[in-house]
Chain A
Amino acid sequence: MRSTDAITLTRFRASFADPHLLLEAVKRLKQEGYPIIDTYSPFPVHGMDEAIGLKPSRLPRACLAFGLLGLATALGVQIWTSAYDYPLIVGGKPLVSLPAFIPVSFELTVLFAGLGVVASLFVASGMRPKFKVPDLHPGVNDDRFVVAGEIQAGASFTVVQSLMASLGALETELLVEDKSQTDHSLLDREAKPLAFLLAAIPAVLVLAALPLLNRNYLKRNLAWDGGMMAPVAYQSFDPHPSLPGGQVLQTPPAGTVSRKGLVPLPYGPGKVEAERAGLELKNPFQPSQENFSRGKLVYDRSCAACHGLDGDNNSSVIVARGLLAPAILVAPVVRDMPDGRLFHVATFGGPQKMKGLGDLISRDDRWKVVLYIRELQRAAAPKPLPAPPPSTGATS
């Protein structure tokens, strides 16, 4: 221990067990004229700021400033990207549609204000990782309430000690430190790194803006997996480990109307071609219950509206409307046409107006319709036929 008397510019530290005792002691020290350096406590002691004469913090202003910065950033980014750099109309809204920008603006305001004010606190109070904590009283984060003050020239430590003891101090110690360390203006201590930090801001901003100013759209992005540029989709004829048949291309489900991939039909439209088809093509389907019912289904859906349900124009819509009457399918003219010719008509259309239905009805179904028409003709045959072809023939 040093001699405790008559040391100039020294600090003392007294600890208490209760915040109220501390507050009383601080008030008393102030009265007696001792400069208070700081107090230390496990939780904020209310009324201490006034007692040691701290002015209210200016951090709220920093918070406001950062918040405004966030707001400006948010609006700037949103307006520039949505209205200038990438003017895309979405949902019929104007390019700059402020109501739609409110949420993001609000979030960024809060984000900047919150992070900014915490960063300001760290800077203002010198809070950063420290392996040796200055002015740390061992019990202060537990249950000790500590005051540190200065003993001015001429004053004696013993006087302070007894004063503190009379106010309930658990212990009072003398700290001899050089002036530079007792300097409690933390802002001074942080000034240098702070200056560097501030100076770095423009550099960072320029660096951040560079990619924006210098964009080369012909150059591809750095992409670590190629993203959507490299599709993972399989090609039709690729092998595939887990699909039936071990390949990607699968047989289409039943009933699919195929548009390509079938054996080509080597015929064109027209009467000559129709006759050729009549000579060359044969119905690949045998009359059977199944084929009839399929043929009936297709006929009823695709032919009956014009040709009538029984192929006799009786229930024909277009006849009822006075339009060009279709050929009577159960008439001998048609009955005598070979299967291939009927198939050709169903595919490429009639000699005058009838549209070819080859692109709507699958090839198999067209053959089954022919089977069905044959059935209709057979059903109609026993009846005494109307006067043979001429007037009501294929043409009128």
Chain B
Amino acid sequence: MAPEDHTSALPATLLIEDEQERGYGHVLPLIDGNKTYSQVTEEVFSTTERMPPLKWWLALSVSLSLLLLGAWAVTQTVTRGIGTWGLNRTVGWAFDITNFVFWVGIGHAGTLISAILFLFRQRWRTSINRAAEAMTIFAVMCAGTFPIIHMGRPWLAFWATPYPNTRGPLWVNFKSPLLWDVFAISTYFIISLTFWYLGMVPDLATMRDRAKTKVRKAIFSIFSLGWNGSNRTWSRYETVYMLLAGLSTPLVISVHTIVSMDFATSVIPGWHATIFPPYFVAGAVFSGFAMVLTLMIIARKVMDLEEYITVRHLEAMTKVIIATGMIVGMAYGTEFFMAWYSGNNFERYVFINRALGPFKWAYWSMVSCNVIIPQLFWIRKVRTTPWMIFILSIFVNIGMWFERFVIIVTSLHRDYLPSSWAMYTPTFVEVAIFLGSFGLFFTCFLIFTRLLPMIAASEVKGVLKHEEH
């Protein structure tokens, strides 16, 4: 559908006022189809009340198979040992940590949409924030599994927490970035989950009110916490929502900053750089938005939510992608500049090796997917055509995965001592765990879309006619 059609067919009331005033040529509506409140209720909640369609079952079966494959690979790793992976003494981090950083980064877009855009009063976030937050939670779950499996004895993962024990006075090392990671990721997970749940309470109340069976009613009575839409509660609720958004914003930045410190505080050439925190945060937003786009474009088709997740939403996200993509591109350039300007031979060698060495294919796929291809988003037609956005978003996902791979593997495989130089190739088990993480992610996401309202109905109702406020 061409964007022009949308604008002309819609009553002016559905357009964003301020943008009209700013004189934008084509303003796409937030929610299409001139809906009433009860229509929104019906359309958002009915998906959770009927049997899912065949395509949903098909998707679920594929992702469950992937999940199973991953479970098999994890079992291999745990029972036979880390030797089932392609790591060696030189390349001690590879697929595992690449995937960890990849998934954490993906999670960040969810928080960005739900918290930062909320603080900036970007109303277009309302119909995508619920799904984006769910994505955050599932992505962080996927991310968290990697360091835990990587420990080799995952059942002892609780040793990473400071708890009083009788092993002499023995505590975790609070000066280690790996421990900061433990705190950052778990805080991030807990706060995101809380934020997501809190935002869902009014919708859970609607589900409770609509529930037909006793069991359903009981379950949603528990989770909707006696919500009755009282204005006194709304008033406090909005305050708390705002506070949580305010807390999540620095939190999300801190999380990827700390992840980048896992690298930056080491002395490995190619890692030991002060630009890592901002570079990683921008990369996280970039990859996260690409993943949101990938998911949303599928979801709006499969779930018939095109009127809620409109081209306008997609377009806004593509703009975030261009901006962050260029920050990332600049970081790539800056890294080379710093390597040259530092005068440090090891640093220079690592970057020359990155671009021209044995992993050059990874480096150049990263550059083309992250820097060159997203430039197509400058073209309006590309920004407003869902299938084109979809293809570009897949490229960005691939590129950002390669970015982490390049940073980790190329820096490690040629370190100071040429005698310990080595190569890395993933084993089948590693690839299977990676595929399994996609299985976990999509299984959770698919179940979520059918169990809970994928769109924040109470928020969408608030923006239906917001021009009158």
- A63 to B241 Cα, complex, angstroms: 12
Answer yes or no: B60 CB below 8 A from chain A CBs. no
- The CA of A334 and the CA of B67, in the complex, are separated in Å by 75
- Chain B residue numbers with a CB within 8 Å of A106 are 250, 254
Other-chain residue from B153, B164, B235, B248 in contact with A57 (beta carbon distance below 8 A): B235
CB distance from B249 to the nearest CB of A (A): 10
Residues of chain B contacted by A301 (CB below 8 angstroms): none
Do A86 and B229 have beta carbons less than 8 Å apart? no
Across the interface, do A215 and B164 meet the contact criterion of CB distance under 8 Å? yes
Looking at the complex, which one of B162, B194, B231 makes contact with A49 (CB distance below 8 Å)?
A: B231
Closest to A140 in B: B229
A115 interface contact, C-beta 8 A: yes
Q: Which residues of A are found within 8 Å of B175, using beta-carbon distances?
A: 82, 90-91, 93, 97, 100-101
B228 touches A140 (CB 8 A): yes
CB A323 to nearest CB in B, in angstroms, measures: 33
Task: Name the residue on A nearest B459 (C-beta).
Answer: A43
B 227-264 to A, binary, CB cutoff 8 A, 1 in contact else 0: 11111111111111001100110110010001001000
Does A175 count as interface, using CB distance less than 8 angstroms? Answer: no
Q: Known contacts A46-B469, A103-B183, A114-B244; decide if A124 and B231 are in contact (CB<8 Å).
A: no
Known: A86-B171, A110-B250, A225-B155. Contact between A40 and B243, CB under 8 A?
Answer: no
Q: Known contacts being A117-B243, A142-B209, A225-B155, is A129 close to B234, with CB within 8 Å?
A: no
Is B148 part of the contact surface with A, judged by Cβ < 8 Å? no
Q: Which residues of A contact B244 (CB under 8 A)?
A: 114, 117-118
**Do residues A131 and B218 form an inter-chain contact, with CB atoms below 8 A?**
yes
Categorize the interface residue count of chain B. Answer: 35 or more
Write the A247-273 contact mask toward B (1 if CB under 8 angstroms, else 0): 000000000000000000000000000
> B46 at interface (Cβ–Cβ under 8 A)?
no
Interface string of A217-255 (1 = CB under 8 A from B): 101110011010000000000000000000000000000
Q: Is the beta-carbon distance between A122 and B225 smaller than 8 angstroms?
A: yes
CB contacts (< 8 Å) of B172 on chain A: these are 81
In the complex where A42-B202, A131-B221 touch, is A100 in contact with B174 (Cβ < 8 A)?
Answer: yes
Residue contact B231 to A86, C-beta cutoff 8 Å: no
Cα–Cα, bound, A136→B169 (Å): 55
Residue of A nearest to B464 (CB): A43
- Residues 157-215 (chain B) with a chain A CB within 8 angstroms: 162, 164-177, 179-180, 183-184, 187, 190-191, 194-195, 198, 201-202, 205-206, 208-209
Contact of A199 with B by CB under 8 A: no
> Is the pair B247, A114 in contact by a Cβ cutoff of 8 Å?
yes
Residues of B within 8 A of A129 (CB): 221-223, 225-226
Contacting residues, chain A, for B165 (C-beta < 8 A):
221
**B-chain residues with CB within 8 Å of residue A48 when the two chains form the complex:** 231, 234-235
Rounded to whole angstroms, the CA-CA distance of A91 and B167 in the bound complex is 22
Known: A59-B236, A103-B258, A128-B225. A118 touches B194 (CB 8 A): yes
Residues in B whose Cβ lies below 8 Å from that of A38: 230-232
Partner of A184, one of B169, B208, B229, B232: B232
Given A97-B175, A107-B187: A127 touches B229 (CB 8 Å cut-off): no
In this assembly, does B365 line the interface, its C-beta being within 8 Å of a C-beta of chain A? Answer: no
Question: Are B222 and A63 in contact, with the CB atoms below 8 A?
Answer: no
- Shortest distance between the CB of A143 and any CB in chain B (Å): 4
Minimum Cβ distance to chain B for residue A116 (Å) = 10
CB-based contact B229/A141 at 8 Å: yes
Instruction: Evaluate contact between B174 and A115: CB separation under 8 angstroms.
Output: no
Q: Is A7 an interface residue (CB 8 A)?
A: no
> Given A103-B258, A127-B233, A130-B221, are A221 and B226 neighbors across the interface (CB < 8 Å)?
no
* Interface: B387 (CB within 8 A): no
Asked if A212 and B164 sit within 8 Å, CB to CB, the answer is yes
Given contacts A77-B162, A81-B162, A212-B164, contact A127 B239 (CB under 8 A): no
Q: For the complex, what is the distance from the CA of A370 to the CA of B186, rounded to whole Å? A: 68
Bound form: Cα–Cα A111–B462 in Å? 29
Which chain B positions have C-beta within 8 A of A212? 164
Residues of B within 8 A of A143 (CB): 36-38, 41, 461
The smallest beta-carbon distance between B36 and chain A, in angstroms, is 7
Is the beta-carbon distance between A82 and B183 smaller than 8 angstroms? no
Query: At the interface, yes or no: B156 with Cβ under 8 Å from chain A?
Result: yes
Q: In the complex, what residues of A have CB within 8 A of residue B205's CB?
A: 133, 141
Which residue of the partner chain, among A52, A104, A126, contacts B226 with CB atoms under 8 Å?
A: A126
Q: Is the CB of B231 within 8 A of A57?
A: no
Contact of A43 among B36, B235, B251, B462 (CB under 8 A): B462
Q: Say yes or no: A134 contacts B187, CB within 8 Å.
A: no
Q: Which residues on A sit within 8 Å (CB–CB) of B261?
A: 103
Complex contacts, B237 vs chain A, CB 8 Å: 44, 121, 125
Asked if A54 lies at the interface with its beta carbon under 8 angstroms from chain B, I say: yes
Asked if A135 CB lies within 8 Å of chain B CBs, one says yes
Q: Does B468 contact A (CB under 8 A)?
A: yes
**Nearest-neighbor residue (CB-CB) of A54 within chain B:** B235
Pick the contact of B191: A111, A125, A134 (CB < 8 A): A111
Interface flag for B7 (CB, 8 Å): no
Chain A residues near B36: list those with CB within 8 A: 143
Complex contact B234–A111 (CB within 8 A): no
Question: Chain B residues near A215 (CB, 8 Å)?
Answer: 164, 166, 169
Interface residues of A in 11-57 (CB under 8 A from B): 20, 38-46, 48-49, 52, 54, 56-57
A138 within 8 A of B: yes
A211 touches B228 (CB 8 A): no
User: Which B residues lie within 8 Å of A124 (CB)?
Assistant: 236
Chain B residue with the shortest CB-CB distance to A81: B171
Could you tell me the distance between the alpha carbons of A88 and B171 in the complex, rounded to whole angstroms? Answer: 10
A130, closest chain B residue (CB): B226
Q: Once the chains are docked, how many angstroms separate the CA of A108 from the CA of B237? A: 23
> In the bound complex, do residue B461 and residue A42 qualify as a contact, i.e. CB atoms below 8 Å apart?
yes
Instruction: Give chain A nearest CB distance to B277 CB in angstroms.
Output: 11
Chain B residue, CB-CB nearest to A211: B164
B38-59: CB near A (< 8 Å → 1, else 0) gives 1001000000000000000000
Do B226 and A127 touch (CB < 8 A)?
A: yes
Contact with A along B329-370 (1 / 0, CB 8 A): 000000000000000000000000000000000000000000
Residues on A with C-beta less than 8 A from B190 are 111, 114-115
**Complex: how many Å from CA A140 to CA B206?**
8
Complex interface: chain B residues within 8 A of A118 (CB)? 194, 198, 240, 244
Contact partner, A78, options B174, B238, B469, Cβ 8 Å: B174
Q: Contact at A44–B234, with CB atoms within 8 Å?
A: yes
Query: Could you tell me if B461 and A43 are in contact, using CB atoms closer than 8 angstroms?
Result: yes
Given the complex, which residues of A lie within 8 Å of B37, measured CB to CB?
42, 142-143
Is A60 interfacial (CB-CB < 8 Å)? Answer: yes
Check if A113 is an interface residue, CB within 8 A of chain B: yes
List 6 tightest A-B contacts by C-beta distance, closest first: A130-B226, A143-B37, A127-B225, A103-B180, A81-B171, A43-B462
9 further contact pairs, Cβ within 8 A, besides A77-B162, A114-B243 = A45-B231, A93-B175, A118-B198, A121-B237, A141-B205, A184-B232, A217-B167, A221-B166, A225-B155
A–B complex contacts, Cβ < 8 Å, 26 sampled: A38-B230, A43-B461, A45-B234, A46-B469, A57-B235, A59-B243, A63-B247, A82-B173, A85-B169, A90-B176, A91-B175, A100-B175, A101-B175, A103-B180, A107-B180, A111-B187, A124-B236, A125-B237, A127-B227, A128-B226, A133-B208, A137-B229, A138-B209, A141-B205, A215-B169, A216-B166
